[in-house]
Structure formats: structure tokens, C-alpha cells
Amino acid sequence: MGEAAIKAVKEIGYTNAGTIEFLVDENEQFYFLEMNTRIQVEHAITEEITGLDIVKMQIDIANGEKLRLDQNDLEIQGHSIEVRIYAEDPVTFFPSPGEITVYEEPAAKYIRVESSIEQGSKITPFYDPMISKLIATGNNRNEAISRLNDALQNYKIEGIKTNIPMLKEVIHHEHFISGNTTTDFVEEHYLPIVK
Amino acid sequence: MINKLLVANRGEIAARIIRTCKENDIKTVAIYSEADARSLFVKMADESYLIGPPRVSESYLNTDKVLEIAKQTKVDAVHPGYGFLSENGSFADKCEQAGITFIGPSSNVIEQMGDKISARKLMEKAGVPVIPGTKGEVSDAEAAIKEAEHIGYPIMVKASAGGGGIGMQIVHTAQELLKAFESNSQRAEQFFGDGSMFMEKLLVNSRHIEVQVLADTHGNAIHLFERECSIQRRNQKVVEEAPSSFISKETRKKNG
């Protein structure tokens, strides 16, 4: 997939950061889905497993600088998982705007929280209900999941509803733990439990 | 050289971009709507300007106002983040014309990839596998039903200009297709001003795996491996991880 992505980038004369999305079937055959010509919400997990700052690289490229790394310099270090925290009902997925009366982020070396909120912040109904991203990294997937679990237990958001209860369910689900997560996971495995 | 940058976004991504700028001694300008006056990113930036009322069309999507503030504050570049103006080719173009660097690809590449039919064609040309489906645009529902027989149900009907789950629908029969084709085409026309439709075979039990790429202006490109984003609700991602625990080393590397 990596080489196919590079081929695509070169064909279209792409510059700066981008993401090529693929659908991958059971036989690991992959198919181009679409390209996002921007930074992605989930760029942070890539930063965690490569030690790079993608925003900095975007700025360097925009300055006309050459990439400082060669493909051979890159390798995957560990495993990183991101969950998106939405201000919404964890069962109906309806938005839940309001004032955040209590806000405490989990703090640990291998935990990263990206947000723009604090105690007293108001979540308005005007924009996407995603209010923060919680990222946990470990030496391997199991360690990342266990750190994510601890962090979710220690993430306190009160005054509004969030999908944190849903995320706790998901990361404890046997199919998630075994890595068996296809795009119909929520309909197949989560909704039947809570509805 | 980028010494001062305007962040044309809000919330966590605005805060994220400002953090990297601070670490690299780049001055930052934030723009915010009335609804976001007390958001953290507004306090974090070196300068912050109210752009308008909460409605996105009057604030974060108001290209003229964003550009006006960019010019007034004499920034060298605009970082669009994700969503809002990030995949708006004409905004990228207007920035460049004003002598302000748009942090992203060129406007014509944004437009080519934003149009899903054209993106599909370009990928085929590059030798990247695409999902079995129609060659190009499908002219009407009748033609869609004919082509569907060759592709085989279930099928994903998609608007070429669609995004965020708008303008796409799964169909299992010709009857469903007839309805879905018309309604999604109309919705896409309404939302994006372009009702062009195409179809792809629905891949069941598939996973959503994406590859992060970076390319400089000297012809060098690298990839930073993949992310798996299979857990979604309403076509919106909820959990993402890197690397994917599903694909093998060989698939990770593969050419197509």
C-alpha cells in the first residue's frame, strides 16, 4: 500500500501532506477509496509511531524545503490508538451541547490529549461535536489498549454527555481486542449491547 | 520563509497547529466566531480576531473575511487544518494570488482529487487498484440500472462531489437503485452544486485503512505507514490506530 500511495502521489504531482484512503478486503486486496488533500484528524497516531511532527513538516514543505527523510530512514515504533471524544449521547449519537462543569484530562507520559476546552467551556450546537482526541501509545497494541483504558477511566468531563461510555465498551469488546474490527463494528457489536 | 501564520480553523486542530508554531518561533493569528470567543485556541494565539457570527458561512467559511484578516495581519501563510476551507481549491488559489502561502497542495490538485470520478480515473491511470465500478459518470438512473447488472449488487451509489457521508447510499436491488440515484444526485446538487453520480461495488467485511503521505516541491515523496479507521458511526470515524493489526508486512509495502 505504501508503494501504491507513492505512485499515486507522483502521478498527480502532489505536494505537502495528504492521505490516501483504501478499502481492504478479507484477502488483503486493497482498493483506492479517496484522497484527502489536507491534514487528517487522526494524524497524531502517525506522529506517535514515527516521532515526527506532521504540522512542522507541512510548514517546511510550504517553505520550499526538501524532505529530510528518505523512506529507508522510517520505521514503525510501537502502536498508537486514538479515540475521538464527541459531545453526544453514547447510544442515540444525538449532539449534547452545554457547559462543561468539570474537566480533567488524564495525564501520563504516553497519553496525549488534543483539545481546545477547559472547565467552563461551552459546547455550542454550531459545529462538529468532536471536542477532543485522546491518544495512547505503547510498545505494542495490548499495551496501547491498556493505557487507553486507564486514560478513559481518568478522563472527567461533566455537564454534557459524551461518547466515553461507548468508547469504554468498544475497547473492551473481544473483537476489538483481537483486532477484528470491520467498518460495520458499531452496528454489529456495539448497538445490540446498548439498545 | 513563514514567520507568521494564520490558522483558518477552530477547536482542537487550531490549538494543535498553534502549538507547533510556538515551538518553532512562528507567530500565530487565530480567527474565531462569536460562539468560540472563549475557546482555548483563541487565547493561545499571538493575535486573535473575531470573524463573525456562529454560522460557518458567515465565519469560518467566509473566504473574503479570512483573506482580509490574513492581509491586514500581514501573515506569510494560512494553515487550513481539516474541514472548512482545507479542500477548497478556489480559496487556495485566492491565497496564492494575494501572495500568501496556502499550506497544502496546489489548487488544481485539490480540485482533481475532490472530484471523486476524476480521482478514480487518475488512480487507474497511475496503476493503483480502484473498487470495481463504473468507468466514469453515470448519466441517469436508467443507465445506472444497466451498469449495475455488470457490477453486481450490493452497490454503493456515490456523488462525485460528495463528502462526509452526504450523497452516498448502499443499494441491493434495481428498485432501490432507482430511488437512491435520483435522491442522492439531487442532494449532491443541493449541497455541492454538482449532481454527477458514479457507482462502486460494495465491499462487505472490508476495512478502512489509509496511508499518510508527504511530498515536497522537489519531487520527493515518502509515506508514514498506515492508519486503520474501521470503527465508525454514521460514516464518521470513532477509533483509529497505527499501524493496522490486520495487514501483513508485504501488503504494507506493496505496489498495487
Question: Mean pLDDT for each consecutive 10-residue tract of chain A (195 residues)?
Answer: 96 97 94 96 98 98 97 97 96 94 96 96 95 98 97 98 95 91 83 84
The mean pLDDT of B34-50, rounded to a whole number, is 97
Interface test with A, best of B18, B34, B128, B254 (most A CBs within 10 A): B128
**What does the pLDDT read at residue A71?**
96
- CB B167 within 8 Å of CB B192: yes
**Which grid coordinates are listed for B99?**
501572495
- CB B209 within 8 Å of CB A24: yes
Interface test with B, best of A27, A61, A118 (most B CBs within 10 A): A61
What residue ranges of chain A are covered by domains with CATH 3.30.470.20?
A: 79-194
Collapsing DSSP states into helix, strand and coil, what is residue B205?
coil
The mean pLDDT of B191-198, rounded to a whole number, is 94
What residue ranges of chain B are covered by domains with CATH 3.40.50.20?
A: 4-111
**What does the pLDDT read at residue B144?**
97
Q: Say whether B39 and A116 touch across the interface (CB within 8 A).
A: yes
The mean pLDDT of B55-80, rounded to a whole number, is 98
List the single residue in B with minimal CA-CA distance to A42: B240
In A67-96, the residues whose Cβ lies within 8 Å of chain B are 67, 69-71, 74, 76, 79-84, 86, 93
- Among candidates A76, A116, A122 on the partner chain, residue whose Cβ is nearest the Cβ of B40: A116
- CB A137 within 8 Å of CB A155: no
Mention every residue, 6+ apart, whose C-beta is less than 8 A from residue B91.
Answer: B63, B66, B80, B85, B102
Question: Rounded to whole angstroms, how far apart are CA atoms A96 and A93?
Answer: 9
Interface test with B, best of A29, A31, A147, A184 (most B CBs within 10 A): A31
The mean pLDDT of B203-214, rounded to a whole number, is 93
**Residue B218: count of CB within 10 angstroms of its CB:** 12
Q: Does B85 score more than 80 pLDDT?
A: yes
- CB B208 within 8 Å of CB B229: yes
Collapsing DSSP states into helix, strand and coil, what is residue B7?
strand
What residue ranges of chain B are covered by domains with CATH 3.30.1490.20?
A: 115-201
The mean pLDDT of B178-201, rounded to a whole number, is 95
Q: Does the domain formed by B115-201 have CATH 3.40.50.11060?
A: no
In A130-169, the residues whose Cβ lies within 8 Å of chain B are 130-133, 141, 144, 163, 166-167
Question: Rounded to whole angstroms, how far apart are CA atoms B14 and A114?
Answer: 10
Of the listed ranges B61-70, B98-107, B187-196, the least confidently predicted one is: B187-196
Question: Rounded to whole angstroms, how far apart are CA atoms A57 and B101?
Answer: 15
A38 is catalytic: yes
- The CATH architecture one would assign to domain B4-111 is 3-Layer(aba) Sandwich (3.40)
Q: Say whether B214 and A39 touch across the interface (CB within 8 A).
A: no
**What does the pLDDT read at residue B80?**
98
- Among candidates A5, A50, A181 on the partner chain, residue whose Cβ is nearest the Cβ of B231: A181
**What does the pLDDT read at residue B230?**
79
CATH code of A79-194, in short, is 3.30.470.20
Q: Say whether B215 and A171 touch across the interface (CB within 8 A).
A: no
**Which grid coordinates are listed for B113?**
482529487
**What does the pLDDT read at residue A52?**
98
**What does the pLDDT read at residue B205?**
85
The mean pLDDT of B204-209, rounded to a whole number, is 89
In A173-192, the residues whose Cβ lies within 8 Å of chain B are 176, 179, 181-186
Q: Does B234 score more than 80 pLDDT?
A: no
Q: What is the pTM of this model?
A: 0.95
**What does the pLDDT read at residue B256?**
66
Quick one: CA dihedral A31, A37, A41, A42, positive or negative?
A: positive
